[in-house]
Amino acid sequence: MDNTRLRYLLSQYSNKIITIEEQSELSDFLNAADNHTQLELLIEEAWIQSGDSAEEVFPQLKPAPTLVPLKPVRWHRWAAAAVLLIVAGGAWVLSTRGPKTSKSTPALTKDEQKDIAPGGNKAMLTLANGHEIALDSNLNGTLTQPGNVNLHASPGLLKYDPTQVSPNSGVAYNVLKTPKGGQYRLELPDGSRVWLNAASSLKFPTAFVGKERRVELSGEAYFEVVKNVSQPFFVTVNKADIAVLGTSFNVMAYADEAAMKTTLLEGAVKVSKADAFNVLKPGEQSTLEPNGSMHVIEKADVDLAVAWKNGLTSFKSADIKTIMRQVERWYDVEVVYSGDVPARSFTGDIPRDANLSELLRLLEISKIHFKMDNHRLIVMP
């Protein structure tokens, strides 16, 4: 395939107007290891032309008459696609995982790279009596905790059985906590489901009694709440409340991020703190800043908000420090900066099961460099 045709297909893909036939042609090209060198040369060419706009590097050509929505592509059963847009350079960078024929310099030198594996299914469950249970992908079976509450553990999932609890009886509270490099799923006693991202925790009761269902979140989680009008669901996070009847939404509230973000996929939620509140409709996102200021983004990037839950590390117009915060949480490394790192922005994604070196290799196209020192990742110009 010549470079003009490849540029055209990448442009169609990036603008979500690629046809089924064009997507098949691009997929066939990317699945062939012999084509990796051509692709990397095109990446270098795009970087050299970094003074041009994205439209000049990848010209917009007239699309074919039959268009289809862009679908997630998995090029190979072992090769997951990663597309990175270097906004500052105006270049689409597309790399595949799998055999490489390129002689380009790796993100980490041979002496430096004991490659860092991605995170996985692991968490710690703390019971009301203080007993701790380590959860991982190998745990499978029924666990019984005080109060005759049964928990069923399977790889990556902890499920609570519904129990009949008298309103007058005491309800125990458990805490599910993921470390850096960990994630876990939880099915609550009412059947609501929670996906807990890395470096996060959820405090919840072993049974929901009374007039409301309430949990406490730190970090990030995606919720699918079972509707129960007579017993509304509340998430308490960063001294704010999210009121829910039955819906799907994502909450990102890490302490090192600039704002707490609540993104609604289905249903309705009310985000409130003190006297301020936002009622969200599907597709909207509420941002809550530390000073209490609240805003609503009406057309939020929902896919970006839940990318982590769907197995992707994703960025949109993100600077290197924003990306590195995700790297710290998912790869469990300490990130430090040496020198003046270029102020560039990135948009794109890479599978969460990729090793750290694969992500760094993509970022190095923008002339940002990395060095590993034990478990410290040093970011350099």
| Percent above pLDDT 70 for the chain | 72
Is residue 194 included in any domain, yes or no? no
The stretch 26-40 carries a mean pLDDT of: 68
What is the per-residue pLDDT for 36? 60
What contacts 185, CB < 8 A, 6 or more positions away?
Answer: 156, 157, 158, 193, 194, 195, 196
What is the per-residue pLDDT for 379? 94
What is the per-residue pLDDT for 284? 96
224 within 8 A of 205, measured Cβ to Cβ = no
| Percent above pLDDT 90 for the chain | 44
Q: What is the pLDDT of residues 69-96, one digit of tens each?
A: 334 444 332 233 333 433 233 333 433 3
According to DSSP, residue 128 is labeled: T
Last residue of a domain, one of 81, 96, 111: 96
Last residue of a domain, one of 305, 331, 360: 305
**Residue 301 and residue 224 share a domain:** yes
Spatial separation of the C-alpha atoms in residues 268 and 101, rounded to whole Å? 50
The stretch 244-264 carries a mean pLDDT of: 94
Is residue 279 included in any domain, yes or no? yes
Spatial separation of the C-alpha atoms in residues 9 and 12, rounded to whole Å? 5
Entry field: residues in the chain: 381
What is the per-residue pLDDT for 60? 36
Q: How confident is the model at residue 35 (pLDDT cuts 50, 70, 90)?
A: low
Residue 217 phi/psi, 5-degree rounding, is -115, 145
The overall average pLDDT reported for the chain is 78
Residue 4 has pLDDT above 80, yes or no: no
Domain of 28, in residue numbers: 3-96
Q: What CATH number does the domain containing 255 carry?
A: 2.60.120.1440
Is residue 376 included in any domain, yes or no? yes
What is the per-residue pLDDT for 251? 97
What is the per-residue pLDDT for 155? 85
What is the per-residue pLDDT for 179? 97
What is the per-residue pLDDT for 145? 63
**Residue 352 and residue 273 share a domain:** no
Q: How confident is the model at residue 41 (pLDDT cuts 50, 70, 90)?
A: low
Is residue 341 included in any domain, yes or no? yes
**Residue 91 and residue 7 share a domain:** yes
**Residue 330 and residue 299 share a domain:** no
Q: How confident is the model at residue 48 (pLDDT cuts 50, 70, 90)?
A: very low
Which residue has tokens 């970006």? Answer: 304
Last residue of a domain, one of 245, 276, 305: 305
The stretch 217-224 carries a mean pLDDT of: 98
Is residue 188 included in any domain, yes or no? no
CA 251, 158, 333 angle in degrees (round to 5)?
A: 60
**Residue 331 and residue 301 share a domain:** no
The stretch 254-270 carries a mean pLDDT of: 95
Q: How confident is the model at residue 361 (pLDDT cuts 50, 70, 90)?
A: confident
**Residue 52 and residue 7 share a domain:** yes
Domain tally for the chain?
3
Q: What CATH number does the domain containing 362 carry?
A: 3.55.50.30
Q: How confident is the model at residue 128 (pLDDT cuts 50, 70, 90)?
A: confident
**Residue 275 and residue 329 share a domain:** no
What is the per-residue pLDDT for 108? 52
Q: How confident is the model at residue 269 (pLDDT cuts 50, 70, 90)?
A: very high
Spatial separation of the C-alpha atoms in residues 88 and 345, rounded to whole Å? 6
What is the per-residue pLDDT for 38? 65
Q: How confident is the model at residue 14 (pLDDT cuts 50, 70, 90)?
A: low
What is the per-residue pLDDT for 166? 53
What is the per-residue pLDDT for 249? 97
Spatial separation of the C-alpha atoms in residues 10 and 26, rounded to whole Å? 8
The stretch 229-256 carries a mean pLDDT of: 94
Spatial separation of the C-alpha atoms in residues 112 and 108, rounded to whole Å? 6
**Residue 239 and residue 286 share a domain:** yes
CA 358, 364, 368, 371 torsion-angle sign: positive
Is residue 345 included in any domain, yes or no? yes
Q: How confident is the model at residue 61 (pLDDT cuts 50, 70, 90)?
A: very low
Question: Residue 138 in 3-state DSSP?
Answer: coil
DSSP class per residue in 7-57: HHHHHHHHTT---HHHHHHHHHHHH-GGGHHHHHHHHHHHHHTTTS-HHHH
